[in-house]
Amino acid sequence: MKFYSTKNKLLRVSLKEAVLTGMPPDHGLYMPETVPTLTPEFLKRVPDLPFQELAFELARYFVDGEISDDKLIDLVSDAFPFDAPLVPLSDHIYALELFHGPTLAFKDFGARFMSRLMALFTQNLSKELKILVATSGDTGSAVANGFFNVPGIRVYVLYPAGKVSEIQEKQMATLGKNVIALKVHGVFDDCQALVKKALADKKLRESFVISSANSINIARLIPQIFYYFYAWAQLPETKRDKLVMSVPSGNFGNLTAGLIAKQMGLPVDRFVDAANRNDVVPEYLQTARFNPRPSVQTISSAMDVGNPSNFDRILDLYGHSHKAMIRDIWGKAYSDEETRDKIRETIENTGYLCDPHGAVGLLGLQEYLEHVDNTATGIFLETAHPAKFKPVVEEIIGKEISLPERLSECLEKPLLSVPMENDYEAFFGVVTRNE
């Protein structure tokens, strides 16, 4: 399959080029040239497939001709050694738990698939692949873990000293091996400026393949399609007919993947875009006006995005038709207060503990089921483990929560980060040194 730029449909590149460059030269976003349509026979088989097999069968449509089946089977089983279980909260509301990967958030799916694709696509190059990532926390840990131990690739994660949470720092800076964590004396924008300069540095490009593995890479979107099918397949058969899926959204990669799944033939009646106070997209759905603005801080911090990059992909999917888009997406924004109350109320009534992002998803889902359509079955995406936001969640429920083993283990490990001045020569030195 070829991929085009949202800014120029005539530009067509291979998956390899789309993945290794990340972004088209015209600064659009890559999109698959056709959305594959699944046959009813295929859909009938979906409930019998374990996640890895389903991932393989769906990925084939997108890697078509560029990766052999044998290699693709190995790739998906290596990328996804964890599950995405569907957990009932009531007889018509389910949580799709996407936090069973190494960094306890759904970004593991995208980061692990992308890293292995990149490794495959650079296998026969004589140059080493260097991934440079600037992070204010969450993305860095998913990417660092995604590339950890992947042969032929070295990762440099730059984060601002003192400006990331303890859990985030431990998740990025205790790995070692091919992951080099650089603790920069500066702010996030300094880290980003260093990465941008390195990506444009001709001298570095002579010796290495340099990539940024950024969040808009199409390789991060593709694997997110898989778990929408997997969620539907886990529903009892009688509840698969009319389904609503609620997606707590920030940069809208996750929702975009769901919309692609629907176009491929997944029987979802409607999607809910559940937002926090950063409500640019719900506002667009209501008014047909898109008005990006600076983000505001909330307790569902991974959704604090004021100008979501993937919105252009959604516009593209609907041919820029507001009318077509609102047929498939209903959106609403919620305050931190409502999110806190929802976390408290849910654990009291059902025993289920949501993280702040999942709670926003649940708020949107319940409002939809109560006021728009009370005949549907609802699934909300639980995008992170509540322990990832331990201080916030404990304050809300007034109780300590325990950490999953993979997190407590990493908290006990020593930090291996290398302090670095906010200085390009210093960064260049680190990247070109061959340990």
Please check whether residue 185 is in contact with residue 421, taking contact to mean a CB–CB distance below 8 angstroms: yes
Please state, in angstroms and rounded to a whole number, the distance separating the CA atoms of residues 164 and 162: 6
Q: Would you count residue 250 as binding ligand PLP (CB under 6 A)?
A: yes
Query: In angstroms, what is the minimal distance from the CB of 113 to ligand PLP?
Result: 14
Cα distance between the two ends of the chain: 38
Three-state SS annotation for 318-344:
CCCCHHHHHHHEEEEECCHHHHHHHHH
Nearer to ligand PLP by Cβ, of 63 and 98: the residue is 98
Helices 138-147 and 107-121 pack at an angle, to 10 degrees, of 40
Q: Would you count residue 249 as binding ligand PLP (CB under 6 A)?
A: yes
Query: In angstroms, what is the minimal distance from the CB of 134 to ligand PLP?
Result: 16
The only residue of 254, 278, 298, 377 in contact with ligand PLP, by rule CB under 6 A? 254
Q: Would you count residue 122 as binding ligand PLP (CB under 6 A)?
A: no
Residues 298 to 327 in contact with ligand PLP, rule: CB under 6 A: 302-303
The only residue of 132, 264, 384, 410 in contact with ligand PLP, by rule CB under 6 A? 384
- Angstrom distances, CA of residue 152 to CA of 118, 148, 410: 10, 11, 24
Part of the chain binding ligand PLP (CB under 6 A), chosen from 12-20, 197-205, 245-253, 414-422:
245-253
Q: Would you count residue 158 as binding ligand PLP (CB under 6 A)?
A: no
The only residue of 135, 251, 276, 295 in contact with ligand PLP, by rule CB under 6 A? 251
Beta-carbon contacts of residue 233 (< 8 Å; ≥ 6 apart): 46, 47, 49, 54
Nearer to ligand PLP by Cβ, of 6 and 249: the residue is 249
What string marks each residue from 332 to 361 as x (binds ligand PLP by CB under 6 A) or -?
A: -------------------------x----
- DSSP H helical ranges for 135-187: 138-147, 166-173
For residue 269, the SS3 value is coil
Query: In angstroms, what is the minimal distance from the CB of 302 to ligand PLP?
Result: 3
Please check whether residue 289 is in contact with residue 346, taking contact to mean a CB–CB distance below 8 angstroms: no
Residues that bind ligand PLP (CB under 6 A): 105, 107, 138, 248-254, 302-303, 357, 383-384
